[in-house]
Amino acid sequence: MSPFLSLLVGHKPPRSHTLEPVGERWPLDLPLVRFSKLDADVWTLGDACQGVLIMGENGSGKTSGSGQLIARKFLQNGFGGLVLCFKTDEADLWREYLKRAGREADGRFFSPESAFRFNFLDYEAGTSGVDFAENLVTLLVDVASIQKRTEASGSEAHFWLPQKKKLLRNAITLLLLAGHPVQLRTLYQIITDAPHFPEQTKDPQWQAKSFLFDLLRKAEEKAADHPEWELIKNYWMSERPLLPSKTRETIDADFTGMFDPLTRGKIGELFGASTNLTPDDILAGKIVVIDIPIAKYREAGQYAALIWAQLFQRAVDRRAYESPVGRPVFLWEDEAHYFTIEQDALFQTTARSKGISVVRLTQNLPNFLDAYGRDGKHKVDTLLGNHATKIFHRNGDAVTTEWSAKTIAKDTQYRHSISGSGSVSAASGPTSNVSVSEVEEDSCPPKEFIGLKNGGKKNNYTVEAILFQSGRLWRKSERWTTVRFNQR
Ligand SMILES: Nc1ncnc2c1ncn2[C@@H]1O[C@H](COP(=O)(O)OP(=O)(O)OP(=O)(O)O)[C@@H](O)[C@H]1O
Ligand SMILES: [Mg+2]
């Protein structure tokens, strides 16, 4: 193992401040990072689009080492991007990156203090047409899954998930039939306003005050002959009031918990009536930073980031991407375990053909395992397995280092052993047997991850990491190699 400097490729940045597509080309073999002097060790756009996982303990140099280098390369090469924020200083870090890449003008910081707005329900309606209700149901269920995913599993999930979808489907379709705008606020109001027991549906006082009842009346006037009308009326007036209250509360909890923080105050305004920023801006080369950091805004920040991430991934899925004319984009998730849901694994499998590089940074494997809940192991394996490039920084977490060693896999070692018998004083003299045995050994044992340099003055601002890419050999013959990054 001999560490060597990662040399930056001198690729001339495109005229990124204007970002006119004219003359810009991004072939899949576009070099991004040169990890050694050998041409074979160039890391390209095609490699980036197979996903990047960066792991290392707190302060190991993920953000300031490998993260910084890859982020800068993406910006210098004219990528569009979506950046999700956990830490409060993440947005400033990206301001600095944009400035250094000469792309300040492309930065769009979506925060409660900004003038950007994203009415994602309108956006979804505009992009999905007749499938709107069903697509919106899926989106909201997916986003809500970030909080409750540790609870339902196995057979429970088989019961709750269809119930949750049914609730949203009936709320959204009712709004559409009544000719009322579909907004988070109105969805929230329908759910909180629905009758709690069958007699309540006949109570004139409830009928006079209820937003839900008003919608039902309007829908009946406008769409009584609609094939879904009877089903919707039945759901709200009979089926749902008959549910035991515990069951109903469990079905509602994900959505009331999500709609509440997203419809209040400044965050409510961000996702309110108007729209001046969408995932399409990212495809056109903008860098959208969701500056609602989870460290400050808690679950509101998490939902906001997830809404953007899910809609961005859908926009990427829909786009007609062709290399080399299609502009590459990236999804950046530092502290990724706060932003990752089950659907991401599936998306990751198609990312390469869609010109998107997803970069996920996290401290350790248990973070992901915790986030995915008790049945989550195979989901985590699937997700992380779909990030072909893995950069492992210093780590003392045994679960992670063992997993990393296993990921890099085993080499067959040939161990020689000599056994002797007989005595020097024996007439025939001593005899010895040489035997060779085949032993499977970790090609990168867990202890390799412990001693890596983690930057700062004491290390002369050098960060080290172990680089691995499935199906690739470095320096002609090595399954993994140690690389260095300069923090400055
Ligand atoms: N630009 C810089 N110049 C010098 N030192 C830095 C710089 N950025 C970070 N450091 C220091 O280098 C070390 C690695 O920091 P970094 O933030 O990259 O780690 P990390 O792996 O991202 O940690 P975390 O898990 O907490 O996000 C820390 O001790 C940090 O204080
Ligand atoms: Mg960090």
Question: Which residues are bridge partners to 121 per DSSP?
Answer: none
| Residue-level length of the chain | 488
Pocket lining: 367 vs ligand 1, CB cutoff 6 Å: no
Residue-wise burial string across 405-427, b where 16 or more C-beta atoms lie within 10 A, e elsewhere = bebbeeeeeeeeeeeeeeeeeee
3-state secondary structure of 158: helix
Q: From ligand 2's centre to the CA of 121, what distance in Å?
A: 33
Q: From ligand 1's centre to the CA of 69, what distance in Å?
A: 13
Treating both helix axes as pointing N-terminal to C-terminal, what angle do 343-350 and 299-318 enclose, rounded to 10 degrees? 30
Residue 363: nearest ligand to its CA? 1
Distance CA 333, CA 445 (A): 28
Residue 57: nearest ligand to its CA? 1
Tokens of 45: 């756009």
CA atoms within 13 A on the CB side of 462: 13
Asked whether the beta carbons of 384 and 77 are under 8 A apart, the reply is no
Report which of 473, 442, 360, 487 is spatially closest to residue 36, judged by C-alpha positions: 473
- As a whole number of Å, the end-to-end CA separation of the chain is 25
Distance CA 186, CA 175 (A): 8
Res 22: pLDDT: 43
Q: From ligand 2's centre to the CA of 292, what distance in Å?
A: 17
**Tally of CB atoms within 10 A around 481:** 21
Distance CA 305, CA 313 (A): 12
Which residues have a Cβ under 8 Å from the Cβ of 230 and sit 6 or more positions away? none
Residue 455: nearest ligand to its CA? 1
For residue 328, give the DSSP letter.
P
From 84, 486, 487, 488, the mutation candidate for ligand 1 (largest count of ligand atoms within 8 A of CB) is 487
pTM score, two decimals?
0.88
Res 154: pLDDT: 59
Res 318: pLDDT: 93
Pocket lining: 452 vs ligand 1, CB cutoff 6 Å: no
Tokens of 28: 């899949």
Asked whether the beta carbons of 60 and 401 are under 8 A apart, the reply is no
434: left (phi over 0), alpha (psi -120 to 50) or beta: beta
Res 411: pLDDT: 64
Sign of CA dihedral 124, 126, 128, 132: positive
Phi, psi angles (nearest 5°) of residue 325: -85, -25
For residue 396, give the DSSP letter.
-
Taking CA atoms, 88 is separated from 104, 291, 294, 295, 298, in Å, by 19, 8, 8, 6, 11
CATH number of 4-11+26-116+285-410+444-486: 3.40.50.300
Asked whether the beta carbons of 141 and 165 are under 8 A apart, the reply is yes
Report which of 205, 363, 354, 179 is spatially closest to residue 283, judged by C-alpha positions: 354
Asked whether the beta carbons of 14 and 24 are under 8 A apart, the reply is yes
Res 342: pLDDT: 86
Asked whether the beta carbons of 95 and 108 are under 8 A apart, the reply is no
Closest-lying ligand 1 atom to the alpha carbon of residue 65 = 18
Pocket lining: 62 vs ligand 1, CB cutoff 6 Å: yes
Asked whether the beta carbons of 80 and 326 are under 8 A apart, the reply is no
Structural domain boundaries in the chain: 4-11+26-116+285-410+444-486, 120-266
pLDDT tens digits for 369-409? 988 877 788 889 999 999 999 999 999 999 999 999 999 98
Q: From ligand 1's centre to the CA of 333, what distance in Å?
A: 16
From 57, 62, 64, the mutation candidate for ligand 1 (largest count of ligand atoms within 8 A of CB) is 64
Asked whether the beta carbons of 306 and 261 are under 8 A apart, the reply is no
At 94, the amino acid letter reads W
pLDDT tens digits for 95-150? 999 999 999 999 999 999 999 999 999 898 888 777 899 999 999 999 998 886 44
Q: Whose CA is nearest to atom 25 of ligand 1?
A: 58
User: Please, what are the averages of pLDDT over each run of 10 residues along the chain (488 residues)?
Assistant: 30 36 79 94 96 98 98 97 98 98 98 96 84 92 78 67 94 94 93 93 95 97 94 96 93 92 93 93 98 96 96 95 95 96 87 93 94 84 93 97 90 66 59 73 90 96 96 92 95
At 264, the amino acid letter reads R
Q: Whose CA is nearest to atom 23 of ligand 1?
A: 59
Q: From ligand 1's centre to the CA of 461, what distance in Å?
A: 9
